[in-house]
Amino acid sequence: MADQIVMEAEKRVPGKSAVARNLRRAGILPANLNRVGGASESIQFNLHAFERMLQRHASESMIVDLLIEGKACKALLREIQHDPVHGKVLHVDLQEVSMTKTVRVPVQIILVGEAKGVKMGGDQDHLLRELEVDCLVSDMTESVEVDVSHLAIGERIRVEELQVDPKLRVVTPGDVVVVSVNAPRVEELPGAAGAAGEGAEPAVVGDAGSDQKESDGSPASGES
């Protein structure tokens, strides 16, 4: 199971976007918590403390132990909105979870080792970076390691070939390719396209001699 993460939060009075901007200027991060029964609750975090917590973990999908004004619950980080320019956290959505029911979460895929095909000059493509799984909260993990050292040029690893803890039920289709090693790309030499057309005979449009006779006013063949 992933390390326990404890975050303190406070209840928040919901307001318009201008109110949220003022909160962020004051170092407060607005958030929403969706309860198990379907109700939604507005809460807030210390912005600096939340950003420091994110820096310590490889994934933004994790279970946190929330302390909301002294009352504890477990919640899954569902969505974290970032400023597109500066990357600052703007808003957080969380989902309260039960310890006895499974949750669907993304698990980061980490490639381990250097493929032998890469050592021979091949190109490695990491095509799938997250794995969707269903699991109990107590069985959650932040990442799955995939050894690629045996991959030769032309070989690949699919989801169905991954060695995953049986407590995690993989939802991602098994035929999806996680990583592949391909032959090095051959670049076309400059001028190769032009060289292909060199030496070709020009097409004959008509009889140049006949055209010349007509233009000189001489009678064409068969005329009297």
The CATH code belonging to domain 6-97 is 2.40.240.10
Q: What's the CATH number of domain 104-182, 2.170.120.20, 1.20.910.10, 3.40.190.10, 3.40.50.280?
A: 2.170.120.20
Average pLDDT (180-199) is 66
Output the pLDDT for position 88: 87
Q: What's the rounded Cα separation, in Å, for the pair 117 and 129? A: 20
Output the pLDDT for position 188: 58
Report residue 151 as tokens: 């991959």
Residue 68, CA atoms < 13 Å, CB-side half-sphere: 17
Average pLDDT (207-216) is 47
Inform me whether the pLDDT recorded for 179 exceeds 70: yes
Inform me whether the pLDDT recorded for 27 exceeds 50: yes
Segment 97-125, tens digit of pLDDT: 988 889 888 899 999 999 999 999 999 99
Segment 136-164, tens digit of pLDDT: 988 988 889 999 999 999 999 999 999 99
Report residue 17 as tokens: 């976007």
- Note the pTM of the prediction, 2 decimals: 0.65
Output the pLDDT for position 224: 40
Q: What are the residue ranges spanned by the domains of the chain?
A: 6-97, 104-182
Do the beta carbons of residue 152 and residue 181 sit within 8 Å?
A: yes
